[in-house]
Amino acid sequence: MDFQSVIEDIYQEVLPLSGQGKVADYIPALQSVNPKKLGIAIETIGGECFMVGDAQEKFSIQSISKVFNLTLGIQTKGDALWQRVGVEPSGNPFNSLVQLEYENGIPRNPFINAGALVVVDTLLDDLDRPNDEMLAFVDRLRCSQIDYDEVVAQSEKETGFNNRALINFMRARDNIRHSDEAILDVYCHQCAITMSCAGLARSFLFLANNGVVPSSDERILSSSQTKRVNAIMLTCGFYDEAGAFAYLVGLPGKSGVGGGIVAIVPGQLSIAVWSPELNRHGNSLLGIKVLEMFTTKTGLSIF
């Protein structure tokens, strides 16, 4: 299939639709991003790469990092992780506090903020330098030269009152062990990783390849663990819009409030899109549109 012309056509078709969403501004350092940016990148398991627009420009990956966080959590804790966090879609916004109260401090899944904060708490049991180890981990996924945007990390740490509230509510329900500062430092750095669409697509390829990085043959997760991470991406990757994403796109994927989305076609490829204007669920408006058009035009979907 000629993926290059597919994404070039989609790029031209969606460009006129920009201007309908809103760049995330609750993290002050994210406000200044140019809302008109648009990039698309595809990486195939066979090593081909296709790009259009701003596909090589780095941006703040935000909650896309929750997939790396979960993968590290599974590697270090194994199945014991699931005693601390669930695997059900939340049907609530990513930063919601209410569900935690009636479910006794056990977050619904690892892709809402509360769930990712618990996973970070478990990483702190085992990793001495979690921020360095996260960068080293992404490097193993064949995406080198990535870094943290310290301005974004600092900005979120200073204004992350909601995340602090989530941590402390869970601490009150005995589901947090480490200090607020230690957890927020790691969580905010993860969210402040900067990567391009090309880098994101490459780093997610192991999830399309049964847990093995195609270019190095390194196994990151077992086939069974990979199946589970993909299932959680499909059911929880877009918070209270997960159903619509499955309906419109039909692929496991993960979004972030920086405007990025990565999705995988198992056995074939991964695709990343960046467009900073978000819809009311905090997901990239054009990003979803691009992926909907991609699966419609190519017929590639898990359904």
CA quadruple 63, 67, 72, 78: dihedral, nearest 10: 130
Distance CA(33)–CA(194), nearest Å, equals 13
Show which residues are catalytic: 63, 66, 187, 239, 257
Pairing status of strand 59-60 against strand 253-255? unpaired
- 292, two tokens: 């909907």
List the one residue from 53, 250, 256, 266 that touches ligand GLN (CB under 6 A): 256
**35 in Cβ contact with 20 (< 8 Å):** no
Does residue 44 bind ligand GLN (CB under 6 A)? no
Nearer to ligand GLN among residue 250 and residue 259 (C-beta): 259
Does residue 163 bind ligand GLN (CB under 6 A)? yes
x/- track of binding to ligand GLN for residues 201-230 (CB under 6 A)? ------------------------------
Question: For the chain, what is the largest distance between any 2 Cα atoms, rounded to a whole number of angstroms?
Answer: 54
What is the nearest approach in angstroms of ligand GLN to the Cβ of residue 71?
17
Q: Single out the residue of 147, 190, 187 nearest to residue 166, CA to CA.
A: 187
Helix, strand or coil, per DSSP, at residue 235: helix
- 266, two tokens: 């198992």
Nearer to ligand GLN among residue 163 and residue 209 (C-beta): 163
Does residue 257 bind ligand GLN (CB under 6 A)? yes
Nearer to ligand GLN among residue 115 and residue 256 (C-beta): 256
Nearer to ligand GLN among residue 166 and residue 249 (C-beta): 166
Nearer to ligand GLN among residue 50 and residue 111 (C-beta): 111
List the one residue from 237, 250, 276, 282 that touches ligand GLN (CB under 6 A): 282
**7 in Cβ contact with 50 (< 8 Å):** yes
Q: For CA atoms 147, 152, 158, 159, give the dihedral sign.
A: negative
Closest residue to ligand GLN, based on beta-carbon distance: 63
Nearer to ligand GLN among residue 102 and residue 161 (C-beta): 161
Residue 94 corresponds to which amino acid? F
Alpha helices (H) along the chain? 3-14, 65-77, 98-102, 113-126, 130-140, 150-159, 161-172, 180-191, 197-203, 205-208, 223-236, 242-248, 285-298
What is the nearest approach in angstroms of ligand GLN to the Cβ of residue 59?
12
x/- track of binding to ligand GLN for residues 88-107 (CB under 6 A)? ------xx------------
> Using CB under 6 A, which residues numbered 167 to 196 contact ligand GLN?
191
What is the nearest approach in angstroms of ligand GLN to the Cβ of residue 95?
5
Query: Which residues lie near ligand GLN (CB under 6 A)?
Result: 62-63, 94-95, 113, 156, 163, 191, 256-257, 282
